[in-house]
Structure 1
Amino acid sequence: MPEPSRPYVPADTVTPERDINHQHFRPGDPVIIVKGIAGGELWGEAMTVVTPSWHTPTEEDGWRLRNPQGGTQTYITAHPRYMIHTSRLCRDCLHHQRALEDRILPRITPTSGPVDGGWYSVTLLNQLVHADDLRSPR
Protein backbone atom coordinates (compact mmCIF):
# COMPACT_ATOMS: atom_id res chain seq x y z
CA MET A 1 0.00 0.00 0.00
CA PRO A 2 1.46 3.41 -0.95
CA GLU A 3 2.32 5.97 1.71
CA PRO A 4 -0.27 8.73 2.10
CA SER A 5 0.82 11.92 0.39
CA ARG A 6 2.30 14.51 2.66
CA PRO A 7 1.99 18.20 1.83
CA TYR A 8 5.16 20.01 0.91
CA VAL A 9 6.43 22.19 3.76
CA PRO A 10 9.16 24.62 2.69
CA ALA A 11 12.35 24.93 4.68
CA ASP A 12 12.38 27.41 7.54
CA THR A 13 15.07 29.82 6.35
CA VAL A 14 13.81 32.62 8.63
CA THR A 15 14.77 31.27 12.07
CA PRO A 16 18.51 30.75 11.36
CA GLU A 17 18.71 34.43 10.30
CA ARG A 18 17.03 35.70 13.48
CA ASP A 19 19.24 37.90 15.63
CA ILE A 20 17.93 37.91 19.20
CA ASN A 21 19.85 37.96 22.44
CA HIS A 22 19.59 35.64 25.41
CA GLN A 23 18.24 38.38 27.72
CA HIS A 24 15.09 38.72 25.59
CA PHE A 25 13.56 35.80 27.51
CA ARG A 26 13.10 35.26 31.27
CA PRO A 27 12.23 32.29 33.48
CA GLY A 28 8.47 31.73 33.45
CA ASP A 29 7.91 33.14 29.95
CA PRO A 30 5.50 31.02 27.89
CA VAL A 31 6.91 30.45 24.41
CA ILE A 32 6.24 28.39 21.31
CA ILE A 33 8.67 26.58 19.06
CA VAL A 34 7.15 26.67 15.56
CA LYS A 35 7.60 23.22 14.02
CA GLY A 36 5.30 23.15 11.01
CA ILE A 37 1.78 23.83 9.80
CA ALA A 38 -1.79 22.86 10.65
CA GLY A 39 -4.98 24.06 9.02
CA GLY A 40 -3.13 26.65 6.96
CA GLU A 41 -1.47 28.19 10.04
CA LEU A 42 1.84 27.82 11.81
CA TRP A 43 1.91 25.02 14.37
CA GLY A 44 4.30 24.27 17.20
CA GLU A 45 4.87 23.23 20.77
CA ALA A 46 4.05 25.50 23.70
CA MET A 47 6.68 25.49 26.42
CA THR A 48 7.76 27.46 29.46
CA VAL A 49 11.20 29.03 29.93
CA VAL A 50 12.80 27.55 33.04
CA THR A 51 16.45 28.54 33.44
CA PRO A 52 19.54 29.54 31.43
CA SER A 53 21.39 26.61 29.91
CA TRP A 54 24.31 26.24 27.51
CA HIS A 55 23.12 25.31 23.99
CA THR A 56 25.83 22.87 22.93
CA PRO A 57 24.95 22.61 19.19
CA THR A 58 25.45 26.37 18.66
CA GLU A 59 27.95 26.91 21.49
CA GLU A 60 25.86 29.86 22.70
CA ASP A 61 23.67 30.73 25.68
CA GLY A 62 20.33 29.00 25.51
CA TRP A 63 17.33 28.32 27.71
CA ARG A 64 16.07 25.18 29.39
CA LEU A 65 12.41 24.77 28.45
CA ARG A 66 9.67 22.66 30.00
CA ASN A 67 7.00 21.03 27.89
CA PRO A 68 3.83 20.97 30.04
CA GLN A 69 2.64 17.91 28.08
CA GLY A 70 5.60 15.96 29.45
CA GLY A 71 6.57 12.85 27.58
CA THR A 72 10.03 11.59 26.81
CA GLN A 73 11.35 15.12 26.37
CA THR A 74 9.74 17.14 29.14
CA TYR A 75 12.85 19.33 29.35
CA ILE A 76 14.92 20.48 26.39
CA THR A 77 17.48 23.22 25.82
CA ALA A 78 16.83 25.63 22.96
CA HIS A 79 18.56 28.62 21.39
CA PRO A 80 16.68 31.93 21.90
CA ARG A 81 16.16 32.37 18.12
CA TYR A 82 13.92 29.26 18.11
CA MET A 83 11.46 30.74 20.64
CA ILE A 84 8.45 33.07 20.23
CA HIS A 85 6.67 34.71 23.19
CA THR A 86 3.01 33.74 23.47
CA SER A 87 1.71 35.71 26.46
CA ARG A 88 2.83 39.26 25.82
CA LEU A 89 2.86 41.56 22.87
CA CYS A 90 6.48 41.39 21.91
CA ARG A 91 7.45 43.35 18.80
CA ASP A 92 10.40 41.14 17.93
CA CYS A 93 8.49 37.89 18.38
CA LEU A 94 5.51 39.18 16.38
CA HIS A 95 7.86 40.32 13.61
CA HIS A 96 9.52 36.89 13.56
CA GLN A 97 6.17 35.08 13.49
CA ARG A 98 4.94 37.26 10.62
CA ALA A 99 8.15 36.65 8.67
CA LEU A 100 7.63 32.89 9.07
CA GLU A 101 4.01 33.23 7.93
CA ASP A 102 4.94 35.42 4.94
CA ARG A 103 7.69 33.12 3.68
CA ILE A 104 6.19 29.72 4.45
CA LEU A 105 2.38 29.80 4.40
CA PRO A 106 1.90 31.01 0.79
CA ARG A 107 3.93 28.03 -0.47
CA ILE A 108 1.98 25.21 1.21
CA THR A 109 -1.23 23.34 0.67
CA PRO A 110 -3.49 23.74 3.73
CA THR A 111 -3.99 20.61 5.83
CA SER A 112 -6.40 19.78 8.60
CA GLY A 113 -3.91 18.09 10.93
CA PRO A 114 -0.45 19.17 12.00
CA VAL A 115 2.44 18.52 9.60
CA ASP A 116 5.93 18.67 11.06
CA GLY A 117 8.25 20.62 8.76
CA GLY A 118 11.27 18.62 9.88
CA TRP A 119 13.06 21.83 10.88
CA TYR A 120 14.19 20.58 14.30
CA SER A 121 15.68 17.52 15.90
CA VAL A 122 16.63 16.74 19.48
CA THR A 123 20.13 15.54 20.34
CA LEU A 124 20.95 12.79 22.84
CA LEU A 125 21.56 15.56 25.41
CA ASN A 126 17.98 16.90 24.93
CA GLN A 127 19.24 19.90 22.97
CA LEU A 128 16.78 21.18 20.36
CA VAL A 129 18.65 22.04 17.18
CA HIS A 130 17.43 23.62 13.94
CA ALA A 131 18.34 21.77 10.73
CA ASP A 132 20.43 24.74 9.53
CA ASP A 133 22.34 24.85 12.82
CA LEU A 134 23.24 21.19 12.32
CA ARG A 135 24.79 22.04 8.95
CA SER A 136 26.54 25.24 10.04
CA PRO A 137 30.16 24.94 11.07
CA ARG A 138 30.66 26.51 14.50
Structure 2
Amino acid sequence: MSQPPPTSAFAPTPDPLTPDRDITHAHFQAGDTVVVLKGVAGGELWGDAMRVVAPSWHALTDEDGWRLRDATGGAQSYVTAHPRYLVHLSRRCPDCLIYLRAMEDALLARFAGRDELIDCGWYTTTALGQLVHIADIGGGR
Protein backbone atom coordinates (compact mmCIF):
# COMPACT_ATOMS: atom_id res chain seq x y z
CA MET A 1 0.00 0.00 0.00
CA SER A 2 2.80 2.39 -0.79
CA GLN A 3 2.03 5.83 -2.10
CA PRO A 4 1.65 5.72 -5.89
CA PRO A 5 2.96 8.33 -8.29
CA PRO A 6 1.04 11.62 -8.32
CA THR A 7 -0.52 11.01 -11.73
CA SER A 8 -4.09 9.75 -11.66
CA ALA A 9 -6.47 8.07 -14.06
CA PHE A 10 -9.83 8.80 -12.46
CA ALA A 11 -12.22 5.89 -12.72
CA PRO A 12 -15.34 6.34 -10.58
CA THR A 13 -16.45 3.03 -9.19
CA PRO A 14 -18.95 2.06 -6.50
CA ASP A 15 -17.69 1.46 -2.96
CA PRO A 16 -19.76 -1.49 -1.77
CA LEU A 17 -18.26 -1.66 1.74
CA THR A 18 -17.14 1.57 3.40
CA PRO A 19 -20.53 3.33 3.76
CA ASP A 20 -21.93 0.39 5.75
CA ARG A 21 -18.78 -0.51 7.66
CA ASP A 22 -19.48 -0.73 11.39
CA ILE A 23 -16.32 0.47 13.16
CA THR A 24 -16.57 2.53 16.32
CA HIS A 25 -14.47 5.47 17.40
CA ALA A 26 -12.89 3.31 20.13
CA HIS A 27 -11.40 0.96 17.52
CA PHE A 28 -8.60 3.49 16.89
CA GLN A 29 -6.30 5.29 19.33
CA ALA A 30 -4.08 8.34 19.16
CA GLY A 31 -0.72 7.27 17.73
CA ASP A 32 -2.13 4.56 15.42
CA THR A 33 -0.94 4.59 11.83
CA VAL A 34 -3.83 4.15 9.41
CA VAL A 35 -4.59 4.24 5.72
CA VAL A 36 -7.62 5.63 3.92
CA LEU A 37 -8.06 3.33 0.92
CA LYS A 38 -8.68 5.29 -2.26
CA GLY A 39 -8.14 2.94 -5.16
CA VAL A 40 -5.76 0.60 -6.96
CA ALA A 41 -2.24 1.05 -8.33
CA GLY A 42 -0.19 -1.67 -9.99
CA GLY A 43 -2.46 -4.47 -8.79
CA GLU A 44 -2.49 -3.35 -5.14
CA LEU A 45 -4.79 -1.21 -3.06
CA TRP A 46 -3.44 2.27 -2.38
CA GLY A 47 -4.43 5.13 -0.17
CA ASP A 48 -3.22 7.90 2.08
CA ALA A 49 -1.26 6.79 5.15
CA MET A 50 -1.77 9.01 8.19
CA ARG A 51 -1.30 9.06 11.96
CA VAL A 52 -4.26 9.29 14.33
CA VAL A 53 -3.73 12.40 16.46
CA ALA A 54 -6.80 13.17 18.58
CA PRO A 55 -10.57 12.74 18.78
CA SER A 56 -12.47 15.19 16.59
CA TRP A 57 -16.15 15.57 15.76
CA HIS A 58 -16.99 14.58 12.17
CA ALA A 59 -19.69 17.09 11.35
CA LEU A 60 -20.84 15.48 8.11
CA THR A 61 -21.75 12.19 9.80
CA ASP A 62 -22.65 13.80 13.12
CA GLU A 63 -20.48 11.19 14.87
CA ASP A 64 -17.15 10.90 16.69
CA GLY A 65 -14.23 11.02 14.29
CA TRP A 66 -10.45 11.30 14.45
CA ARG A 67 -8.06 14.09 13.61
CA LEU A 68 -5.39 12.64 11.33
CA ARG A 69 -1.96 13.97 10.39
CA ASP A 70 -0.58 13.34 6.93
CA ALA A 71 3.19 13.29 7.39
CA THR A 72 3.71 14.14 3.71
CA GLY A 73 1.87 17.41 4.23
CA GLY A 74 0.71 18.67 0.89
CA ALA A 75 -2.28 20.96 0.64
CA GLN A 76 -3.80 19.55 3.83
CA SER A 77 -1.59 18.20 6.65
CA TYR A 78 -4.49 17.55 9.04
CA VAL A 79 -7.96 16.19 8.31
CA THR A 80 -10.83 14.84 10.37
CA ALA A 81 -12.17 11.44 9.30
CA HIS A 82 -14.86 9.02 10.36
CA PRO A 83 -13.52 5.69 11.76
CA ARG A 84 -15.19 3.66 9.00
CA TYR A 85 -12.81 5.28 6.50
CA LEU A 86 -9.70 3.99 8.32
CA VAL A 87 -7.65 0.78 8.21
CA HIS A 88 -4.87 0.02 10.69
CA LEU A 89 -1.34 -0.07 9.32
CA SER A 90 0.40 -0.08 12.70
CA ARG A 91 -1.15 -3.37 13.81
CA ARG A 92 -2.92 -6.33 12.26
CA CYS A 93 -6.37 -6.29 13.79
CA PRO A 94 -9.05 -8.75 12.62
CA ASP A 95 -11.68 -6.11 11.79
CA CYS A 96 -9.34 -4.12 9.56
CA LEU A 97 -7.96 -7.26 7.90
CA ILE A 98 -11.48 -8.47 7.06
CA TYR A 99 -12.32 -5.06 5.56
CA LEU A 100 -9.01 -4.94 3.67
CA ARG A 101 -9.54 -8.42 2.17
CA ALA A 102 -13.11 -7.54 1.19
CA MET A 103 -11.90 -4.35 -0.53
CA GLU A 104 -9.24 -6.37 -2.36
CA ASP A 105 -11.90 -8.83 -3.51
CA ALA A 106 -14.14 -5.99 -4.68
CA LEU A 107 -11.47 -4.00 -6.52
CA LEU A 108 -8.40 -5.96 -7.60
CA ALA A 109 -10.15 -8.25 -10.10
CA ARG A 110 -12.07 -5.29 -11.53
CA PHE A 111 -8.82 -3.48 -12.38
CA ALA A 112 -6.58 -6.49 -13.11
CA GLY A 113 -3.95 -5.83 -15.74
CA ARG A 114 -4.01 -2.06 -15.31
CA ASP A 115 -0.80 -0.55 -13.96
CA GLU A 116 -1.84 3.09 -13.70
CA LEU A 117 -3.14 4.75 -10.58
CA ILE A 118 -6.89 4.30 -10.33
CA ASP A 119 -8.49 6.78 -7.95
CA CYS A 120 -12.00 5.51 -7.28
CA GLY A 121 -13.18 9.02 -6.43
CA TRP A 122 -14.75 8.18 -3.07
CA TYR A 123 -13.34 11.03 -0.96
CA THR A 124 -13.14 14.77 -0.92
CA THR A 125 -11.92 17.23 1.70
CA THR A 126 -14.30 19.97 2.80
CA ALA A 127 -13.47 23.59 3.57
CA LEU A 128 -13.58 22.58 7.27
CA GLY A 129 -10.72 20.11 6.75
CA GLN A 130 -12.98 17.08 6.98
CA LEU A 131 -12.39 14.05 4.83
CA VAL A 132 -15.78 12.89 3.58
CA HIS A 133 -16.85 9.83 1.64
CA ILE A 134 -19.25 10.49 -1.24
CA ALA A 135 -21.87 8.42 0.60
CA ASP A 136 -21.71 10.91 3.51
CA ILE A 137 -21.81 14.17 1.56
CA GLY A 138 -25.55 14.55 2.16
CA GLY A 139 -24.75 14.96 5.86
CA GLY A 140 -25.35 12.05 8.15
CA ARG A 141 -26.41 8.48 7.74
Q: TM-score normalized by structure 1?
A: 0.89
Q: Where does 1:1-138 land on structure 2 (aligned, <5 Å)? A: 6=9, 8=11, 10-135=13-138, 138=141
* Greater fraction helix: 1
Cα deviation, residue 112, structure 1: 2.5
Residues 13-40 of structure 1, C-alpha deviations (whole Å, 9 max, x = no match): 2111100110000000000000111001
Matched residues in 1 for 2:119 and 2:11: separation? 10
Contact 2:13 2:121 in 1 (8 A): no
From the superposition, tell whether residues 137 and 33 of structure 1 become closer, same or farther in structure 2 (CA, over 3 Å): closer
Cα deviation, residue 95, structure 1: 0.4
Q: In structure 1, what residue type is equivalent to 2:93?
A: C
Cα deviation, residue 113, structure 1: 3.4
Q: In structure 2, what residue type is equivalent to 1:56?
A: A
Contact 2:32 2:88 in 1 (8 A): yes
Gaps of 5+ in 2: 1-8
Contact 1:55 1:127 in 2 (8 A): yes
Larger radius of gyration: 1
Q: TM-score normalized by structure 2?
A: 0.88
Matched residues in 2 for 1:35 and 1:66: separation? 17
Give the SS at the match of 1:94. helix
Matched residues in 2 for 1:107 and 1:71: separation? 30
RMSD of the alignment, in Å? 1.6
Matched residues in 2 for 1:102 and 1:42: separation? 10
Contact 1:22 1:62 in 2 (8 A): yes
Aligned residues: 133
